[in-house]
Amino acid sequence: MEKPIKNDAITSRDVDFAQWYTDVCKKAELMDYSSTKGFIIYRPYGYAIWERIQAYLNQRFAETGHENVYMPMVIPESLFNKEKEHVEGFAPETLIATYGGKEKLDDPLIIRPTSEVLFCEHYSKIISSYRDLPKKYNQWCSVVRWEKTTRPFLRGAEFLWQEGHTVHESEEDARVETLSMLSIYEQLGKDLLAIPFLSGRKTEKEKFAGAEETYAIEALMHDGKSLQSGTTHYFGTGFAKAFNIRFQDRNNTLQYAHQTSWGVSTRLIGSLIMVHGDDNGLVLPPFVAPIQVVLVPIMMQKEGVLEAARSLQSELIKLGLRVKLDDSPQSPGWKFAEYEMKGVPLRIEIGPRDLAQGQVVIALRDTKEKRMVSLSDVSQQVPILLKELHQRLLLSAQQHLNDHIRDAHSLEELLDILNTHGGYVRMSVSDEHEVETIIKEKAQATARVIPFHQKGLAPTCAITGKPAKRIVLFARAY
Amino acid sequence: MEKPIKNDAITSRDVDFAQWYTDVCKKAELMDYSSTKGFIIYRPYGYAIWERIQAYLNQRFAETGHENVYMPMVIPESLFNKEKEHVEGFAPETLIATYGGKEKLDDPLIIRPTSEVLFCEHYSKIISSYRDLPKKYNQWCSVVRWEKTTRPFLRGAEFLWQEGHTVHESEEDARVETLSMLSIYEQLGKDLLAIPFLSGRKTEKEKFAGAEETYAIEALMHDGKSLQSGTTHYFGTGFAKAFNIRFQDRNNTLQYAHQTSWGVSTRLIGSLIMVHGDDNGLVLPPFVAPIQVVLVPIMMQKEGVLEAARSLQSELIKLGLRVKLDDSPQSPGWKFAEYEMKGVPLRIEIGPRDLAQGQVVIALRDTKEKRMVSLSDVSQQVPILLKELHQRLLLSAQQHLNDHIRDAHSLEELLDILNTHGGYVRMSVSDEHEVETIIKEKAQATARVIPFHQKGLAPTCAITGKPAKRIVLFARAY
């Protein structure tokens, strides 16, 4: 009846990436399955990562004048049906409540898959003049999409996210908002997640149901596949017309408002795992790590060891760091494996022999390097080591990304690159659905983004031979 | 098409308390109705109050070793049915999903009304030894209860809350947890909400479905009615037996675990409104107020006024205060009414005549007193004024509560007190359901709590004449 020992080897990343991913999710205690398929349990360690992401974004949202609100979790079916493209995009994957208090509901309630229609209905009531604009709201909640195939953090029937919904006087203001939020997501990647996102516009085929334009951040996973990690949408006046969101402008004329929406979700946790993780488990960038430093006493029973560990712990906590001292009866070896699995950036080993020399060992999670540091230097060294570790992870991910963007000039070349290297393939293409359909069918790849920098556009489409309209990055994706 | 001016008079509190309450909810822009009955929209100002409550509790929960998690929002009907009393308590008011992705579900999904069974199922998987205990988890989420009669914040089909769920080795540990969390809720009242909660144990009739014992915090509203504002439950081993949560104890014997749960919700916003509000609108205790100080420039166009206001604003923000400068074109009178409606604790009026004397006016929201303060003293005075204001609100609510706890020795006396004064009636009663049924029927009052202090127990029950077992506080309640 003992709990299973946790330092079981996990599947190697290069042997079976999918199994490695699942092993890390479970063994790092990020999540557990519930009895309903696709509805996962966010365990304390996984949820704490999400809370760090929330704290970062809440600060950025507040700085940029956004306000948090909470909308109902249900949408009456009749309301949901108001914007045609939107309902067509989402209806096939909705969870629908039909009974309340033992009685059949007249108007079934859709559990929100996204909240555009709820925000729109509210906005139509509270906006009447240009003086009411802009309205920049954000909501933290969970949404439900009835997916057939589910994977922890990557694709769930329920997932946690934030959804921003804004209303503006002009197209220009709304377009600026759409791109500003994309830029905040890119900064989130650089500052917190140590992930260099690829960003750009989505093709017509890949854009959000109801949007005029969708922008995305994409991250390259260790296995060469791309993961869409966040999107921002410019809606134009489509929703405003469907929901009658009008305002009197500065010239006393009634106008439809311009809208945006944007969101990131707990998918970001999946990105973190698959960008930085290794065969020992998670590797967490220091600023998002729930535990930044773990202290492991060696030969705890020896006089002075625990005292030294405790004093070091409070020294580091005073610096504002998240520090754990593990003084449980497990062996040091077990603890090393455990906190490596959990991706704790720094481990400090405190043993009697080193202490006698006035020093401790600091082990770096990413490079596995061990450094002997004098006790009096630890407080000064740890913040530097954390920053360096963050920088190393970011650079290494950037290098991996740079190495995996390749040009192709034909379907064969694209196939060859995807099969040999994975990553992104840059191609000049015409702007028809046809191109994407062919690439999807022949190479199981999709258009990830139309990059902002379009330098090097070839004259003809690599697939159809027609005039090329734009450069698109294709990849196999999650 | 102009937005309606917001300083419409609201219904007077003493003319129609219910209408006054609804007016404040709407006109202070705390909430709005959605198109689904009982599902409200938490607008930025209302949600910001909830975020303050969350921040306070998250800190207290962390200090006391609790961890945040997130469980699925759905419970399969088959799982829900496992604990008999629990299901009987909640089944009549559940919202049930029956279709997912256009297909009928084999096992309908209940939208969580509370998450005991989800936590229990997870705990049964992750607990096997006393070394795994205690487990002290908390979750922030929304829950759905299909209520027929709904009122903003007080009784909703959906509301926001936190639910703590803990597992312990011994009955004693679980009982200590149950009472510790009650005490944290009482401190939340004193420190943040300026509400003196009445606390005690619930009677058998009023306790939570599935609990051995329920404790509650109750608050006295301005109209003399009681509002249950939070509860903590000791479950014993009831759920552990239904869900097989067992652990190997320190003597190598398998034992069922002892559990608790506890929660407070957005009902607390209702408490805030009805305890402190007045005929000018909300009155917010300073530490929970989204805006603590509003700066209103008078004759903005005069040289130096806006500059002085801006400089004062940054001075106060540097102190860590939440400050708003309203430099919109509305008149000062409109702004005074607007921020009184929103319950902003302090208003600073900055006008050219006072500025020439090197001073500003500070108006206190609760007493309406205005003080002339020299510009150089504002930074030093404001924090003191905020603390004093908090203290005044707390004392005034405490006085109101003290004045409204009265002894009764018969049903007639109880009726007389409730009809004349409202508030709480202390009575010595026998321990049968019958007593509460009679009081409910004759006086529309319910047993709020069995207070911890039982001094003065009479020999016979005031209702039945049988031997009295305990003192109970009765009240009309929301």
Angle at B314 between CA B308 and CA B319, to 5 degrees: 130
Which amino acid is present at B247?
F
Task: Provide the Cα torsion B336, B338, B344, B345; round to 10°.
Answer: 30
Q: Which residues are paired to B219 by β-bridges?
A: B227
User: Is residue A4 reached through a cis peptide bond, with omega within 30 degrees of 0 on the bond before it?
Assistant: no
B118:A34 CB<8 A: yes
Q: Nearest residue on chain B to A100, judged by CA atoms?
A: B95
Report chain B (478 residues): mean pLDDT per 10 consecutive residues.
52 95 98 96 98 98 98 96 86 94 95 97 98 98 95 97 98 98 98 98 94 98 98 97 97 98 98 98 98 97 96 98 97 97 98 97 98 97 98 98 97 98 97 93 98 95 95 98
A93:B76 CB<8 A: no
Task: Give the pLDDT score at B8.
Answer: 62
Task: Give the pLDDT score at B84.
Answer: 83
Closest CA relative to residue A28, chosen from A269, A224, A193: A269
Q: What is the mean pLDDT of residues A290-304?
A: 96
Q: Nearest residue on chain A to B75, judged by CA atoms?
A: A36
A101 chain-B contacts, CB cut-off 8 A = 92-95, 146-148
Residue A297 has pLDDT above 60, yes or no: yes
Higher pLDDT, A86 or B372: B372
A36 chain-B contacts, CB cut-off 8 A = 72, 74-76, 109
Taking the C-alpha atoms of residue B232 and residue B197, their distance in angstroms, rounded to an integer, is 14
Residue A4 has pLDDT above 90, yes or no: no
Which of A51, A69, A95 lies at the smallest CB-CB distance from B68?
Answer: A51
- Domain residue extents for chain B: 17-276, 293-385, 406-475
For tokens 């007016």, name the residue.
B23
Alpha-carbon Rg for chain B, nearest whole angstrom, is: 25
3-state secondary structure of A287: coil
Tens digits of residue pLDDT in A400-431: 999 999 999 999 999 999 999 999 999 999 98
Task: Give the pLDDT score at A8.
Answer: 62
Residue A169 has pLDDT above 90, yes or no: yes
Which of B39, B48, B248 lies at the smallest CB-CB distance from A74?
Answer: B39
Q: A277 vs chain B: nearest CA distance in angstroms?
A: 23
Task: Give the pLDDT score at B91.
Answer: 85
Quick one: which H or E segment has residue B306? helix B305-318
Which amino acid is present at A37?
K
Taking the C-alpha atoms of residue B142 and residue B150, their distance in angstroms, rounded to an integer, is 16
Q: Nearest residue on chain B to A72, judged by CA atoms?
A: B39
* Lowest mean pLDDT, pick from A105-109, A345-349, B89-93: B89-93
Tens digits of residue pLDDT in B213-243: 999 999 999 999 999 999 999 999 999 999 9
Q: Nearest residue on chain B to A29, judged by CA atoms?
A: B126
Q: B389 vs chain A: nearest CA distance in angstroms?
A: 27
Tens digits of residue pLDDT in A48-57: 999 999 999 9
Which of A73, A98, A129 lies at the smallest CB-CB distance from B142?
Answer: A73
Closest CA relative to residue B425, chosen from B446, B439, B395, B405: B405
Task: Give the pLDDT score at A2.
Answer: 39
- Residue A97 main-chain phi, psi, to 5 deg: -90, 135
Tens digits of residue pLDDT in B353-367: 999 999 999 999 999
For tokens 């409606």, name the residue.
B341
Helices B17-27 and B267-276 meet at what angle, rounded to 10?
110
Which amino acid is present at A389?
L
Name the CATH superfamily for B406-475.
C-terminal domain of ProRS (3.30.110.30)
Between the two ends of chain A, the Cα-to-Cα distance in Å is: 38
Average pLDDT of chain A, as a whole number: 96
- Furthest-apart CA atoms within chain B: distance in Å: 81
Task: Give the pLDDT score at A85.
Answer: 85
3-state secondary structure of B102: coil
Taking the C-alpha atoms of residue B387 and residue B407, their distance in angstroms, rounded to an integer, is 34
A98:B98 CB<8 A: yes
3-state secondary structure of A238: helix
% residues pLDDT > 90 (chain A): 94
Evaluate whether A17-276 and A406-475 have a shared fold: no
**pLDDT class for A285, splitting at 50, 70, 90?**
very high
Task: Give the pLDDT score at A87.
Answer: 87
A32:B95 CB<8 A: no
Task: Give the pLDDT score at A313.
Answer: 98
- In angstroms, the Cα distances linking B205 to A239, B50, B116, B214, B434 are 50, 30, 20, 10, 10
Residue A7 has pLDDT above 50, yes or no: no
Q: Nearest residue on chain A to B121, judged by CA atoms?
A: A34
- Residue B446 main-chain phi, psi, to 5 deg: -130, 160
Taking the C-alpha atoms of residue B284 and residue A112, their distance in angstroms, rounded to an integer, is 33
3-state secondary structure of A169: coil
Taking the C-alpha atoms of residue B243 and residue B125, their distance in angstroms, rounded to an integer, is 10
For tokens 């704490």, name the residue.
A48
Taking the C-alpha atoms of residue A353 and residue B443, their distance in angstroms, rounded to an integer, is 76
B73:A40 CB<8 A: no
B98:A96 CB<8 A: yes
Q: Which residues are paired to A318 by β-bridges?
A: none
3-state secondary structure of B248: strand
Taking the C-alpha atoms of residue A80 and residue A77, their distance in angstroms, rounded to an integer, is 5
Residue A3 has pLDDT above 50, yes or no: no
Tens digits of residue pLDDT in A30-41: 999 999 999 999
Catalogue the E-assigned strands of A192-239: 198-201, 213-220, 226-236
Name the CATH superfamily for B293-385.
Anticodon-binding domain (3.40.50.800)
Which of A33, A41, A159, A248 to probe the B interface (max B CBs under 10 A)? A41
Q: A59 vs chain B: nearest CA distance in angstroms?
A: 13
Task: Give the pLDDT score at A230.
Answer: 98
Fold of A293-387: Rossmann fold (3.40.50)
Which of B3, B39, B128 lies at the smallest CB-CB distance from A129?
Answer: B3
The total number of residues shown for chain B amounts to 478
Quick one: which H or E segment has residue A101? none
Taking the C-alpha atoms of residue A447 and residue B474, their distance in angstroms, rounded to an integer, is 67
Name the CATH superfamily for A17-276.
Bira Bifunctional Protein; Domain 2 (3.30.930.10)
Contact A132, A144 (CB under 8 A): no
Which amino acid is present at B440?
K
